[in-house]
């Protein structure tokens, strides 16, 4: 017997079992139609006298990815989840969830309403609502706390992590894990408990086990989430909801869960985080200005890869490639570096393997000092010093050594990828693969294409990035690509603010309160001040100890702050030298302390240049630093370097610590209001006419003139703008 009409299919199997299958590909999200289907089919199964038990599963080996996130911004209709799940729990016939694939968010809440949960060994379970700016408001906070206890529930709900079936069994979330067909196992099991009372299986009736150190536990977790979430409200609400589970009867706890969800549901933070969810997926559907795009570009197979240069980046890239299962040839010319790299790579692989309970992939890597060793690889990632002449030489050697068709990638952070390609016999095989440090940890990868890069080369780099677990974004070739290019005006404004009266502490505090894990000066100290100094020297911006007065702060016709150069001249390179914008107890130590020397230096510097310090507030810091960065984002869109605002936002959230609950710089601009951003940029530009970065971009003006359309409609305006250029 079978009813295929709705988005929850009903079949009677094994004679007496009502099997309800959710059907909403690709993840069986609980859309209004699916919820209606479940309500109808559960009612049907429970009222059918022949049916003794019920099994709920998902189509195509995937239980349920939770509520349909696309519905959140709309007028939601259809049956609500809470009464639907309550009705399942109240059923007088056993209801068993057969979990294959994912049971996430509302999907897991649905399973928690069932009397038993049987999971396939490859299944993943979790309550990831916090990552969408929400909390599990279909009873998830109340039932999970009762089922697995408060500490474990807090961990799952405040982090949104997915657990494996084995971990879920250990925690007590599922009753059984199987390597066989989970639906068949669930059907057989459901018949074995048919006719029994389900009173002891209704989680909502369980008492919530209280930990002995109750207050200390909640205080500790609250402190932790406040520290790591930096202004995000969802993790705090999650802790409050679990606390309600621990202190209130179930119905009161449910009321509290709903109350907290109501605040989150309509918040800007939830909109921002849900935007990020879809933006992260949208960047995979890349396109190039030539019209080449993801669907029509076939990646080349990559089984064996090489890394050239085993410094900071090369080591991380080697680890990431090996962890993906590829064979890696790692080449380093300096013997000492090679020895150190071998040790470092092995250490990273062993630590990673221990964390994930797998074998380290040490035997996947072969080391060499000779570039001839890469003859048979499918793809090379070059990570030698940031020097165009050296990179050109290495690429020429690679062209001679590698088999035909090998893809040649550079990890340059700012050099001209197209210029490098133009020196090669096969420029179509050259792309940038710009990883972020540490390369085996950071999620972002910018795949940089030039006008000569073939779509196949871009597709291959994008696919490899995905396999490596990276969020890969295809971007055009320009100085600094997307991320580092936008960083320039941000850093510049931070320097100017110091000249005008701010301190590194004040600027950093404003940015950290905004949600960055580190302010611009603490971050610069961590990365090393010498990196920017070297770039500025190459750009001929650095002048030896200049005279005082205005002209000392003008370079190439624009305002310039030599503050960073002056620190470097003193050997203050940041954490590695124990001194930078802050002081550190010793070189390499991480705790940044206020430095009286730096404050006196700033006072003396301002006096020398006739600068009268003024009081600067957080608002000005945010507007000057962030709006200048956003303005450059608009220029990047104008130039076609990024295909859309989502690409920029994903780069900033995954590579630069932009707080996810603020959606990324371009989304943030849309929330602040484009007219306001334009007005403030015009205001600051009038005050600082010698700063080109504050000159509002034409695209920003155009968008404001078009009544500031919502962010998902910017692409239309950009396209029109570009066609008129």
Ligand X SMILES: NC(=O)C1=CN([C@@H]2O[C@H](COP(=O)(O)OP(=O)(O)OC[C@H]3O[C@@H](n4cnc5c(N)ncnc54)[C@H](O)[C@@H]3O)[C@@H](O)[C@H]2O)C=CC1
Ligand Y SMILES: CC(C)(COP(=O)(O)OP(=O)(O)OC[C@H]1O[C@@H](n2cnc3c(N)ncnc32)[C@H](O)[C@@H]1OP(=O)(O)O)[C@@H](O)C(=O)NCCC(=O)NCCSC(=O)CC(=O)CCCCCCCCCCCCC(=O)O
Q: Which residues does the annotation mark as catalytic?
A: 109, 129
- Among 106, 450, 480, 564, which residue sits at the site for ligand Y (rule: CB under 6 A)? 106
Contact partner, 383, from ligand Y, ligand X, none, Cβ < 5-8 Å per class: ligand X
Which residue, 206 or 265, is less far from ligand Y as judged by CB? Answer: 265
Is 109 a binder of ligand Y (CB under 6 A)?
yes
Contact partner, 412, from ligand Y, ligand X, none, Cβ < 5-8 Å per class: ligand X
Contact partner, 70, from ligand X, ligand Y, none, Cβ < 5-8 Å per class: ligand Y
Is 332 a binder of ligand X (CB under 6 A)?
yes
Going by C-alpha positions, the residue among 573, 592, 625 that lies closest to residue 522 is 592
Which residue, 138 or 457, is less far from ligand Y as judged by CB? Answer: 138
- Among 20, 57, 67, 471, which residue sits at the site for ligand Y (rule: CB under 6 A)? 67
Is 255 a binder of ligand Y (CB under 6 A)?
no
Which region among 67-75, 182-190, 288-296, 588-596 touches ligand Y (by CB under 6 A)? Answer: 67-75
The whole-angstrom separation of Cα 651 and Cα 242 is: 33
Contact partner, 384, from ligand X, ligand Y, none, Cβ < 5-8 Å per class: ligand X
Element counts in the chain: helices (H) and strands (E): 28, 20
The whole-angstrom separation of Cα 10 and Cα 17 is: 10
Contact partner, 487, from ligand X, ligand Y, none, Cβ < 5-8 Å per class: none
- The HSE-up count of residue 699 (CA atoms within 13 Å, CB side) is 25
List binders of ligand Y among 165-224 (CB under 6 A). none
The interface mask with ligand X, positions 427-446, x = CB under 6 A, is --------xxx---------
- Among 8, 51, 68, 646, which residue sits at the site for ligand Y (rule: CB under 6 A)? 68
What three-state secondary structure class fits 175?
Answer: coil
Which residue, 189 or 294, is less far from ligand Y as judged by CB? Answer: 294
Contact partner, 312, from ligand X, ligand Y, none, Cβ < 5-8 Å per class: ligand X
Q: CB–CB of 430/450 below 8 Å?
A: yes
Contact partner, 89, from ligand X, ligand Y, none, Cβ < 5-8 Å per class: none
Which residue, 155 or 333, is less far from ligand X as judged by CB? Answer: 333
Shortest distance in whole angstroms from residue 258 CB to ligand X: 46
Is 26 a binder of ligand Y (CB under 6 A)?
yes
Is 368 a binder of ligand X (CB under 6 A)?
no
Is 535 a binder of ligand X (CB under 6 A)?
no
Phi first, then psi, for residue 642 (nearest 5°) are -115, 145
Going by C-alpha positions, the residue among 601, 711, 614, 703 that lies closest to residue 667 is 711
Shortest distance in whole angstroms from residue 256 CB to ligand Y: 13
The whole-angstrom separation of Cα 503 and Cα 521 is: 10
Contact partner, 68, from ligand Y, ligand X, none, Cβ < 5-8 Å per class: ligand Y
- Among 47, 385, 404, 610, which residue sits at the site for ligand X (rule: CB under 6 A)? 385
- Among 40, 175, 259, 386, which residue sits at the site for ligand X (rule: CB under 6 A)? 386
The whole-angstrom separation of Cα 391 and Cα 317 is: 17
Which region among 331-339, 491-499, 607-615, 632-640 touches ligand X (by CB under 6 A)? Answer: 331-339
Is 383 a binder of ligand X (CB under 6 A)?
yes
Q: CB–CB of 136/109 below 8 Å?
A: yes
- Among 412, 453, 472, 577, which residue sits at the site for ligand X (rule: CB under 6 A)? 412
Which residue, 336 or 355, is less far from ligand X as judged by CB? Answer: 336
Q: CB–CB of 498/611 below 8 Å?
A: no
Total binding residues toward ligand X, as defined by CB under 6 A: 24
Which region among 125-133, 398-406, 518-526, 585-593 touches ligand Y (by CB under 6 A)? Answer: 125-133
Is 278 a binder of ligand Y (CB under 6 A)?
yes
Give the burial string for 343-368 (b: 16+ CB within 10 Å, else e).
Answer: ebbeebbeebeeeeeeebbeebbebe
Going by C-alpha positions, the residue among 424, 487, 485, 520 that lies closest to residue 637 is 485
- Among 331, 349, 563, 630, which residue sits at the site for ligand X (rule: CB under 6 A)? 331
- Among 67, 229, 384, 459, which residue sits at the site for ligand X (rule: CB under 6 A)? 384
**Residue 64 corresponds to which tokens in the numbers above?**
């349920």
Is 312 a binder of ligand X (CB under 6 A)?
yes
Number of neighbouring beta carbons within 10 Å of residue 32: 16
Shortest distance in whole angstroms from residue 174 CB to ligand Y: 17
What three-state secondary structure class fits 309?
Answer: coil
Angle, vertex CA 474, rays to CA 472 and CA 475, nearest 5: 130
Q: In what order do the strands lie in the sheet with 162-164?
A: 102-104, 124-126, 162-164
Is 411 a binder of ligand X (CB under 6 A)?
yes
Whether a cis peptide bond, with omega within 30° of 0, leads into 26 is yes
Q: Taking each helix axis from N to C terminus, what angle separates 714-723 and 698-705, rounded to the nearest 10 degrees?
A: 120
Is 181 a binder of ligand X (CB under 6 A)?
no
The whole-angstrom separation of Cα 570 and Cα 587 is: 15
Going by C-alpha positions, the residue among 514, 608, 652 that lies closest to residue 230 is 514
Shortest distance in whole angstroms from residue 496 CB to ligand X: 25
Give 668's contacts (C-beta < 8 A, 6+ positions apart). Answer: 272, 626, 630, 658, 662
List binders of ligand Y among 131-170 (CB under 6 A). 132, 134, 136-138
Which residue, 151 or 311, is less far from ligand X as judged by CB? Answer: 311
Shortest distance in whole angstroms from residue 458 CB to ligand Y: 19
What are the Cα distances from residue 585, in Å, to 503, 580, 592, 597, 613?
Answer: 20, 12, 8, 14, 29
Which residue, 76 or 518, is less far from ligand Y as judged by CB? Answer: 76
Q: CB–CB of 513/620 below 8 Å?
A: no
- Among 18, 37, 66, 316, which residue sits at the site for ligand Y (rule: CB under 6 A)? 66
- Among 41, 134, 173, 308, which residue sits at the site for ligand X (rule: CB under 6 A)? 308
- Among 27, 153, 439, 643, which residue sits at the site for ligand Y (rule: CB under 6 A)? 27
What are the Cα distances from residue 640, in Å, to 278, 288, 635, 678, 707?
Answer: 21, 9, 9, 21, 22
Three-state SS string over 75-121 comes to CCCCCCHHHHHHHHHHCCCCEEEEECCEEECHHHHHHHHCCEEEEEC
Could you say which DSSP state residue 208 is in?
P
Binding site for ligand X (CB under 6 A): 308-314, 331-334, 337, 383-386, 390, 394, 411-413, 435-437
Binding site for ligand Y (CB under 6 A): 26-27, 29, 65-70, 81, 102, 104-106, 109, 128-129, 132, 134, 136-138, 261-262, 265-266, 278, 281
């Amino acid at each position: 017997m079978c009813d295929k009409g709705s988005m929850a299919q009903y079949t009677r199997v094994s004679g007496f079992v009502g099997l309800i299958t959710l059907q909403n590909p690709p993840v069986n999200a609980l859309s209004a139609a699916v919820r209606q289907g479940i309500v109808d089919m559960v009612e049907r199964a429970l009222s059918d006298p022949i049916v003794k038990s019920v099994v709920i599963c998902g189509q195509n080996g995937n239980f349920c990815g939770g509520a349909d996130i696309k519905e959140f911004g709309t007028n939601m209709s259809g049956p609500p989840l809470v009464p639907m799940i309550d009705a399942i729990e109240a059923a007088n016939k056993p209801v068993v969830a057969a979990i294959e694939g994912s049971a996430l968010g509302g999907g897991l809440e649905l399973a928690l309403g069932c009397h038993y949960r049987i999971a396939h060994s490859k299944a993943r379970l979790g309550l990831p609502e916090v990552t969408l700016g929400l909390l599990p408001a279909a009873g998830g906070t109340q039932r999970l706390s009762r089922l697995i206890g408060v500490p474990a529930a807090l961990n799952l709900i405040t982090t949104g992590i997915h657990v494996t079936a084995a971990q879920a069994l250990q925690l007590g979330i599922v009753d059984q894990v199987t390597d066989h067909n989970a639906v068949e196992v669930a059907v057989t099991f459901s018949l074995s408990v048919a006719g029994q009372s389900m009173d002891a299986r209704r989680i909502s009736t369980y008492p919530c086990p209280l930990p002995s150190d109750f207050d200390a536990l909640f205080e500790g977790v609250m402190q932790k989430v406040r520290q790591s979430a930096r202004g995000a409200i969802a993790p705090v609400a999650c802790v409050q909801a679990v606390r309600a589970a621990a202190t209130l009867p179930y119905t009161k706890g449910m009321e509290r869960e709903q109350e907290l969800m109501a605040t989150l549901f309509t918040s800007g933070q939830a909109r921002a985080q849900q935007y990020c969810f879809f933006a992260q997926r949208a960047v995979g559907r890349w396109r190039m200005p030539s019209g080449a795009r993801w669907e029509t570009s076939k990646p080349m197979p990559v089984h064996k890869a090489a890394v050239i240069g085993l410094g900071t980046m090369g080591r991380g890239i080697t680890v990431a490639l090996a962890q993906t299962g590829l064979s890696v040839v790692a080449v380093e010319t300096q013997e000492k570096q090679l020895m150190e790299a071998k040790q470092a790579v092995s250490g990273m692989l062993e630590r990673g393997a221990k964390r994930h309970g797998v074998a380290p992939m040490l035997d996947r890597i072969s080391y060499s000092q000779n570039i001839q060793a890469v003859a048979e690889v499918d793809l090379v990632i070059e990570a030698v010093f940031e020097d165009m002449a050296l990179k050109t030489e290495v690429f020429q050697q690679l062209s001679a050594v590698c088999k035909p068709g090998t893809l040649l990638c550079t990890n340059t952070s700012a050099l001209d990828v197209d210029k490098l390609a133009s020196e090669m016999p096969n420029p179509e095989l050259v792309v940038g693969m710009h990883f972020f440090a540490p390369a085996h940890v950071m999620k972002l990868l910018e795949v940089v294409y030039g006008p000569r890069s073939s779509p196949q080369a871009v597709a291959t780099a994008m696919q490899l990035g995905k396999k490596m677990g990276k969020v890969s974004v295809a971007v055009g070739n320009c100085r600094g690509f997307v991320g580092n290019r936008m960083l320039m005006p941000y850093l510049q404004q931070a320097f100017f603010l110091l000249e005008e009266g701010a301190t590194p502490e004040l600027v950093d505090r404003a940015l950290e309160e905004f949600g960055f894990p580190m302010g611009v000066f603490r971050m610069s100290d961590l990365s090393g001040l010498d990196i920017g100094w070297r770039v500025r020297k190459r750009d001929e911006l650095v002048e030896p100890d200049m005279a005082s007065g205005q002209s000392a702060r003008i370079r190439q016709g624009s305002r310039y702050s030599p503050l960073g150069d002056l620190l470097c001249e003193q050997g203050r390179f940041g954490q590695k030298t124990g001194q930078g914008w802050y002081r550190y107890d010793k070189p390499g130590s991480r705790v940044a302390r206020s430095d009286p020397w730096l404050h006196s230096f700033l006072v003396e510097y301002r006096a020398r240049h006739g600068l009268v310090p003024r009081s600067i507030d957080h608002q000005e810091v945010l507007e000057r630093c962030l709006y200048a960065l956003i303005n450059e984002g608009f220029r990047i869109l104008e130039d076609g370097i990024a295909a859309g605002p989502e690409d920029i936002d994903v780069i900033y959230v995954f590579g630069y610590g932009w707080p996810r609950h603020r959606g990324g710089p371009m989304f943030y601009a849309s929330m602040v209001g484009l007219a306001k951003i334009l007005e403030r940029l015009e205001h600051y530009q009038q005050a600082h006419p010698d700063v080109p970065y504050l000159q509002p971009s034409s695209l920003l003006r155009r968008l404001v003139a078009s009544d500031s359309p919502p962010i998902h409609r910017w692409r239309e305006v950009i396209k029109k703008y570009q066609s008129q250029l």
